[in-house]
Amino acid sequence: MTSAYDLSDGRRLRADRARQVADVLRCQIGRGAFESGVLPREERLVAEFGTTRNAVRDALDLLRAEGLIERLPGVGTVVTATGKVPHGLHRLLGLGETLHEHGEIVNEVRASGLITPPPAITSRLELPDDSPVVYLERLRRLNGVPLSLDQTYLEPELGRALLKEDLVHEDVFVLIERLKGPLGRAELSVEAVNADPHSAAVLEAPRGTATLLVERLTHLADGRPVDLEFIRFRGDRLTLRGTLHRSL
Protein backbone atom coordinates (compact mmCIF):
# COMPACT_ATOMS: atom_id res chain seq x y z
CA MET A 1 0.00 0.00 0.00
CA THR A 2 1.27 3.45 -0.84
CA SER A 3 0.85 6.08 1.85
CA ALA A 4 0.14 8.75 -0.70
CA TYR A 5 -1.41 9.64 -4.03
CA ASP A 6 1.85 8.56 -5.57
CA LEU A 7 0.99 5.27 -7.16
CA SER A 8 2.89 3.43 -9.84
CA ASP A 9 6.31 3.41 -8.18
CA GLY A 10 6.88 7.14 -8.55
CA ARG A 11 6.25 6.98 -12.26
CA ARG A 12 3.06 8.94 -11.83
CA LEU A 13 3.44 12.41 -13.27
CA ARG A 14 3.20 15.54 -11.19
CA ALA A 15 0.46 16.74 -13.58
CA ASP A 16 -1.62 13.64 -12.84
CA ARG A 17 -1.29 14.22 -9.10
CA ALA A 18 -2.14 17.90 -9.52
CA ARG A 19 -5.34 17.06 -11.42
CA GLN A 20 -6.33 14.61 -8.72
CA VAL A 21 -5.80 17.15 -5.93
CA ALA A 22 -7.53 19.91 -7.92
CA ASP A 23 -10.62 17.77 -8.52
CA VAL A 24 -11.06 16.99 -4.83
CA LEU A 25 -10.55 20.63 -3.86
CA ARG A 26 -12.95 21.85 -6.60
CA CYS A 27 -15.57 19.49 -5.27
CA GLN A 28 -14.99 20.69 -1.69
CA ILE A 29 -15.29 24.32 -2.79
CA GLY A 30 -18.53 23.48 -4.60
CA ARG A 31 -19.91 21.82 -1.48
CA GLY A 32 -18.97 24.78 0.72
CA ALA A 33 -16.52 22.68 2.73
CA PHE A 34 -14.32 25.67 3.60
CA GLU A 35 -16.65 27.54 5.87
CA SER A 36 -14.53 30.64 6.24
CA GLY A 37 -13.85 30.66 2.50
CA VAL A 38 -10.15 30.17 3.26
CA LEU A 39 -8.41 27.03 2.01
CA PRO A 40 -6.04 25.14 4.29
CA ARG A 41 -2.38 26.16 4.08
CA GLU A 42 -0.15 24.41 1.58
CA GLU A 43 1.66 22.32 4.23
CA ARG A 44 -1.67 21.04 5.49
CA LEU A 45 -2.81 20.11 1.98
CA VAL A 46 0.51 18.36 1.32
CA ALA A 47 -0.04 16.29 4.47
CA GLU A 48 -3.73 15.59 3.83
CA PHE A 49 -3.21 14.48 0.25
CA GLY A 50 0.07 12.72 0.99
CA THR A 51 1.60 14.18 -2.13
CA THR A 52 4.34 16.63 -3.05
CA ARG A 53 4.32 20.36 -2.48
CA ASN A 54 4.73 20.84 -6.23
CA ALA A 55 1.57 18.84 -6.97
CA VAL A 56 -0.40 20.91 -4.44
CA ARG A 57 0.93 24.17 -5.89
CA ASP A 58 0.07 23.05 -9.41
CA ALA A 59 -3.44 22.07 -8.26
CA LEU A 60 -3.96 25.52 -6.73
CA ASP A 61 -2.71 27.09 -9.98
CA LEU A 62 -5.29 25.09 -11.95
CA LEU A 63 -8.14 26.25 -9.71
CA ARG A 64 -6.89 29.82 -9.87
CA ALA A 65 -6.88 29.62 -13.67
CA GLU A 66 -10.50 28.45 -13.49
CA GLY A 67 -11.37 31.53 -11.43
CA LEU A 68 -12.41 29.51 -8.38
CA ILE A 69 -9.78 30.72 -5.92
CA GLU A 70 -7.43 33.65 -5.50
CA ARG A 71 -4.51 34.49 -3.26
CA LEU A 72 -5.09 37.33 -0.82
CA PRO A 73 -1.96 38.80 0.80
CA GLY A 74 -2.03 38.27 4.54
CA VAL A 75 -5.04 35.93 4.33
CA GLY A 76 -4.03 33.01 2.12
CA THR A 77 -5.89 31.21 -0.64
CA VAL A 78 -9.58 32.08 -0.65
CA VAL A 79 -12.63 31.04 -2.62
CA THR A 80 -13.54 33.88 -5.04
CA ALA A 81 -16.64 35.90 -4.27
CA THR A 82 -18.57 35.08 -7.43
CA GLY A 83 -18.19 31.33 -6.91
CA LYS A 84 -20.41 28.67 -8.45
CA VAL A 85 -24.13 28.44 -7.79
CA PRO A 86 -26.06 25.16 -7.90
CA HIS A 87 -28.89 24.56 -10.39
CA GLY A 88 -30.93 21.45 -9.65
CA LEU A 89 -31.58 18.67 -12.12
CA HIS A 90 -34.30 17.36 -9.82
CA ARG A 91 -37.14 19.55 -10.99
CA LEU A 92 -37.89 21.95 -13.83
CA LEU A 93 -37.19 25.42 -12.45
CA GLY A 94 -36.30 28.82 -13.85
CA LEU A 95 -33.09 30.54 -12.85
CA GLY A 96 -34.75 33.15 -10.64
CA GLU A 97 -36.72 30.43 -8.83
CA THR A 98 -33.64 28.25 -8.37
CA LEU A 99 -31.26 30.94 -7.23
CA HIS A 100 -33.45 33.17 -5.06
CA GLU A 101 -31.28 32.32 -2.05
CA HIS A 102 -28.13 33.31 -3.91
CA GLY A 103 -29.13 36.78 -5.00
CA GLU A 104 -31.04 38.72 -7.61
CA ILE A 105 -31.32 37.74 -11.25
CA VAL A 106 -31.63 40.72 -13.60
CA ASN A 107 -32.02 40.17 -17.33
CA GLU A 108 -30.79 42.40 -20.11
CA VAL A 109 -33.06 41.94 -23.14
CA ARG A 110 -30.69 41.91 -26.13
CA ALA A 111 -33.32 41.15 -28.79
CA SER A 112 -37.03 40.39 -28.92
CA GLY A 113 -39.72 40.15 -31.53
CA LEU A 114 -41.57 38.04 -34.05
CA ILE A 115 -39.38 36.19 -36.57
CA THR A 116 -39.73 33.54 -39.27
CA PRO A 117 -37.50 30.76 -37.98
CA PRO A 118 -36.01 27.83 -39.89
CA PRO A 119 -37.99 24.55 -40.04
CA ALA A 120 -35.65 23.14 -37.38
CA ILE A 121 -37.34 25.46 -34.88
CA THR A 122 -40.97 25.24 -36.03
CA SER A 123 -40.82 21.44 -36.12
CA ARG A 124 -39.58 21.24 -32.52
CA LEU A 125 -42.44 23.51 -31.45
CA GLU A 126 -44.89 21.43 -33.56
CA LEU A 127 -45.90 24.51 -35.57
CA PRO A 128 -46.55 24.74 -39.33
CA ASP A 129 -43.34 25.27 -41.34
CA ASP A 130 -44.27 28.87 -42.18
CA SER A 131 -45.37 29.85 -38.67
CA PRO A 132 -43.66 32.81 -37.07
CA VAL A 133 -42.29 32.46 -33.52
CA VAL A 134 -41.30 34.98 -30.91
CA TYR A 135 -37.57 35.23 -30.35
CA LEU A 136 -36.16 36.54 -27.11
CA GLU A 137 -32.50 36.88 -26.20
CA ARG A 138 -31.43 37.77 -22.71
CA LEU A 139 -28.18 38.13 -20.85
CA ARG A 140 -28.92 37.06 -17.29
CA ARG A 141 -26.88 38.45 -14.43
CA LEU A 142 -26.72 37.19 -10.87
CA ASN A 143 -25.76 39.97 -8.47
CA GLY A 144 -24.53 42.01 -11.41
CA VAL A 145 -22.21 39.40 -12.96
CA PRO A 146 -23.21 37.57 -16.17
CA LEU A 147 -24.37 34.02 -15.52
CA SER A 148 -26.03 32.98 -18.78
CA LEU A 149 -26.94 34.05 -22.28
CA ASP A 150 -30.37 32.66 -23.23
CA GLN A 151 -31.90 32.38 -26.70
CA THR A 152 -35.61 31.58 -26.48
CA TYR A 153 -38.09 30.61 -29.21
CA LEU A 154 -41.73 30.78 -28.15
CA GLU A 155 -45.00 29.61 -29.65
CA PRO A 156 -46.28 32.86 -31.26
CA GLU A 157 -49.52 33.47 -29.33
CA LEU A 158 -47.84 32.87 -25.99
CA GLY A 159 -44.75 34.75 -27.12
CA ARG A 160 -46.66 37.89 -28.10
CA ALA A 161 -48.33 38.02 -24.69
CA LEU A 162 -45.03 37.35 -22.94
CA LEU A 163 -43.29 40.28 -24.63
CA LYS A 164 -45.59 42.65 -22.71
CA GLU A 165 -44.46 41.26 -19.35
CA ASP A 166 -41.50 42.20 -17.14
CA LEU A 167 -38.73 40.31 -18.96
CA VAL A 168 -36.04 42.10 -16.98
CA HIS A 169 -36.95 40.62 -13.60
CA GLU A 170 -39.06 37.53 -14.25
CA ASP A 171 -38.31 33.95 -15.33
CA VAL A 172 -39.91 32.90 -18.61
CA PHE A 173 -41.31 29.84 -16.79
CA VAL A 174 -43.13 31.99 -14.24
CA LEU A 175 -44.56 34.18 -17.01
CA ILE A 176 -45.69 31.19 -19.08
CA GLU A 177 -47.53 29.72 -16.11
CA ARG A 178 -49.20 33.06 -15.39
CA LEU A 179 -50.38 33.30 -19.00
CA LYS A 180 -51.02 29.68 -19.93
CA GLY A 181 -51.30 27.56 -16.81
CA PRO A 182 -48.97 24.90 -15.43
CA LEU A 183 -45.88 23.60 -17.19
CA GLY A 184 -45.33 19.89 -17.66
CA ARG A 185 -42.01 18.39 -18.66
CA ALA A 186 -38.92 19.54 -20.49
CA GLU A 187 -36.40 17.54 -22.49
CA LEU A 188 -32.91 18.86 -22.16
CA SER A 189 -29.43 18.22 -23.43
CA VAL A 190 -26.27 19.42 -21.73
CA GLU A 191 -22.95 19.96 -23.50
CA ALA A 192 -19.62 21.59 -22.69
CA VAL A 193 -18.62 24.03 -25.41
CA ASN A 194 -15.75 26.52 -25.66
CA ALA A 195 -17.32 29.94 -26.05
CA ASP A 196 -16.75 31.69 -29.35
CA PRO A 197 -15.01 35.08 -28.95
CA HIS A 198 -18.20 37.13 -29.13
CA SER A 199 -20.18 34.95 -26.69
CA ALA A 200 -17.25 35.07 -24.26
CA ALA A 201 -17.18 38.86 -24.52
CA VAL A 202 -20.93 39.11 -23.88
CA LEU A 203 -20.58 36.84 -20.84
CA GLU A 204 -17.57 38.92 -19.68
CA ALA A 205 -15.53 35.71 -19.51
CA PRO A 206 -12.09 34.87 -20.92
CA ARG A 207 -11.78 33.92 -24.58
CA GLY A 208 -12.53 30.24 -25.12
CA THR A 209 -14.09 29.87 -21.66
CA ALA A 210 -15.90 26.57 -21.09
CA THR A 211 -19.67 27.02 -21.12
CA LEU A 212 -22.46 24.63 -20.19
CA LEU A 213 -24.72 24.72 -23.21
CA VAL A 214 -28.24 23.57 -22.33
CA GLU A 215 -30.86 23.03 -25.02
CA ARG A 216 -34.28 22.67 -23.45
CA LEU A 217 -37.74 22.14 -24.94
CA THR A 218 -40.47 22.87 -22.41
CA HIS A 219 -44.06 21.66 -22.69
CA LEU A 220 -47.26 22.81 -21.05
CA ALA A 221 -48.92 20.30 -18.71
CA ASP A 222 -51.14 19.23 -21.66
CA GLY A 223 -48.02 18.20 -23.59
CA ARG A 224 -47.84 21.08 -26.08
CA PRO A 225 -44.23 22.29 -26.66
CA VAL A 226 -44.15 26.07 -26.28
CA ASP A 227 -40.63 27.15 -25.31
CA LEU A 228 -37.35 26.11 -26.96
CA GLU A 229 -34.25 27.55 -25.32
CA PHE A 230 -30.53 27.53 -25.93
CA ILE A 231 -28.83 28.54 -22.70
CA ARG A 232 -25.11 29.25 -22.32
CA PHE A 233 -24.03 29.17 -18.69
CA ARG A 234 -20.61 30.43 -17.73
CA GLY A 235 -18.82 27.28 -16.60
CA ASP A 236 -17.12 29.08 -13.73
CA ARG A 237 -20.43 30.24 -12.26
CA LEU A 238 -22.79 27.25 -12.24
CA THR A 239 -22.97 23.58 -11.30
CA LEU A 240 -25.86 21.31 -12.27
CA ARG A 241 -26.80 18.89 -9.49
CA GLY A 242 -29.04 15.86 -9.55
CA THR A 243 -29.69 12.30 -8.44
CA LEU A 244 -29.89 9.26 -10.68
CA HIS A 245 -31.38 5.89 -9.81
CA ARG A 246 -30.20 2.50 -11.01
CA SER A 247 -33.69 1.08 -11.38
CA LEU A 248 -36.55 3.12 -12.81
Q: Which C-beta is closer to its own copies: that of 15 or that of 104?
A: 15
Confirm or reject binding of residue 213 to its own copies (CB under 8 A). Answer: yes
All residues at 6 or more sequence positions from 120 whose CB lies less than 8 Å from its CB, including other chains:
none
Out of 162, 209, 226, 227, the only residue in the binding site for its own copies (CB under 8 A) is: 209
CB of 219 to its own copies, least distance (A): 9
Strands 69-72 and 76-79: antiparallel
Q: In terms of CB distance, is 165 or 177 closer to its own copies?
A: 177
Residues 16-35 that bind its own copies (CB under 8 A): 16, 18-20, 22-28, 30, 33
**What b/e sequence results for 150-183 when a residue is b if at least 16 CB atoms lie within 10 Å of its CB, and e otherwise?**
bbbbbbbebbebbbeeebeebbbbbbbeeebeeb
In terms of residues, how long is the chain? 248
Residue 168, interface with its own copies (CB under 8 A)?
no
Strand pairing of 85-88 and 225-234?
unpaired
Nearer to its own copies, 78 or 115 (CB): 115
Site for its own copies in 64-93 (CB under 8 A): 65-66, 84, 86, 89-92
Closest CB to its own copies among residues 73, 127: 127
**Are 206 and 53 contacting, i.e. CB atoms less than 8 angstroms apart?**
no
Residue with Cβ nearer its own copies (94 or 105): 94
Chosen residue from 114, 126, 157, 204 binding its own copies by CB under 8 A: 114
Closest CA relative to residue 229, chosen from 141, 132, 148, 144: 148
Among 41, 50, 100, 126, indicate the residue that binds its own copies (CB under 8 A).
Answer: 50
Distance CA 12, CA 115 (A): 56
